[in-house]
Amino acid sequence: MLKGVRDLARVHTARAIEVLFEIMDDSDANKQARIAAAKELLDRGYGRPPQDIQVGGLETIVINLKKKAT
């Protein structure tokens, strides 16, 4: 079922990107909405940045949260 929902949502990807751009580009829109739209566009275009997590003392583990393309 999840695959079916995912496939249905992907049909609207181009329009969703257009809407995000319209919000980001609208100087009359709420600044928080514009920032959120810009962030969503950047996350989709470039992926989310890796996050460092401190674990017990001086060790650092880098976890890449990018989702694999399916």
Q: Look at residue 12 and tell me if it is in a domain.
A: yes
Q: Look at residue 40 and tell me if it is in a domain.
A: yes
Q: Look at residue 38 and tell me if it is in a domain.
A: yes
Residue 45 φ/ψ region, left for φ over 0, alpha for ψ in the -120 to 50 degree band, beta for the rest: alpha
d(CA 4, CA 6): 5
d(CA 26, CA 32): 12
Print the domain residue range for 49.
2-63
pLDDT of 58: 61
Model confidence band, residue 34 (pLDDT cutoffs 50, 70, 90):
very high
Q: Look at residue 36 and tell me if it is in a domain.
A: yes
pLDDT of 52: 75
Q: Look at residue 69 and tell me if it is in a domain.
A: no
Q: Look at residue 70 and tell me if it is in a domain.
A: no
Q: Look at residue 31 and tell me if it is in a domain.
A: yes
Number of structural domains (the chain) is 1
Q: Look at residue 19 and tell me if it is in a domain.
A: yes
Model confidence band, residue 21 (pLDDT cutoffs 50, 70, 90):
very high
pLDDT of 59: 61
pLDDT of 26: 97
Residue 34 φ/ψ region, left for φ over 0, alpha for ψ in the -120 to 50 degree band, beta for the rest: alpha
d(CA 51, CA 63): 6
pLDDT of 36: 96
